[in-house]
Amino acid sequence: MTRNFQDVSASGLPLFSVSNWVPKDTDYTGEERDGLEGGKKPKIIVVDDEALIAETVVEILNQEGFAAISAPSGSSAIELAKTVRPSIILSDVIMPGLNGIEMGIKIREIVPTCRVILFSGQAATVDLLERARQQGHRFEILAKPIRPEYLIHVVRSSLPSQ
């Protein structure tokens, strides 16, 4: 499937800057894309209530050799983490229901080794991150728009050394 990546979300806000990103020449089967059970690929759950953002990030990660899947909310990501046991969660901070920080704390209770990387384009994130820090929770935060090359660099550097 070929997708035309966009530089703006449905709301017109900047998203992921993809102008210089070129996917690897890898031909994935549907099973490799969708199946997160087993395998040696690092498992990543991408959480965003904007489907276009989540799907774009998942596609970029899968084309770079990761096993990525999306979740539309914090609560669905928590349920998914119970079976997938991800290495990394990539999540928007501001979402309906559980925000990315609350979700990250709960997922770390389920999968203590899971790295949680948050992204946001909203100023309200600063206050939420400060409250979490005061409670002993630290998260890496990426500001939107995120260049895919930088996203891949951050994800790879977040994985444990093999």
Q: 67, 66, 71: which is closest to 156 by C-alpha?
A: 66
User: 88 in a domain, yes or no?
Assistant: yes
- What's the pLDDT at 124? 66
Q: How many domains does the chain have?
A: 1
List, for residues 86-121, the tens digit of each pLDDT value.
Answer: 999 999 999 999 999 999 999 999 999 999 999 987
Q: How far is residue 13's CA from residue 16's CA, in Å, rounded to a whole number?
A: 10
Two tokens, residue 40: 């040696």
List, for residues 47-95, the tens digit of each pLDDT value.
Answer: 999 999 999 999 999 999 999 999 999 999 999 999 999 999 999 999 9
- What's the pLDDT at 30? 39
Tell me the mean pLDDT in the region 148-158: 93
User: 73 in a domain, yes or no?
Assistant: yes
User: 65 in a domain, yes or no?
Assistant: yes
- Going by pLDDT thresholds of 50, 70 and 90, the confidence category of residue 2 is very low
User: 17 in a domain, yes or no?
Assistant: no
User: 79 in a domain, yes or no?
Assistant: yes
Whole-number average pLDDT of the chain: 78
Q: What's 132's domain CATH number? A: 3.40.50.2300
Query: Three-state SS for 35?
Result: coil
User: 12 in a domain, yes or no?
Assistant: no
- Print the domain residue range for 148: 30-158
User: 9 in a domain, yes or no?
Assistant: no
Query: For residue 101, how many C-alpha atoms fall within 13 Å in the half-sphere facing its CB?
Result: 20
Percent of the chain with pLDDT over 70: 73
User: 18 in a domain, yes or no?
Assistant: no
List, for residues 117-140, the tens digit of each pLDDT value.
Answer: 999 877 667 778 888 888 888 888
Q: Is the pLDDT of residue 152 over 70?
A: yes
List, for residues 17-45, the tens digit of each pLDDT value.
Answer: 443 444 443 333 334 334 444 568 999 99
Q: Tokens 């093999």 belong to which residue? A: 162
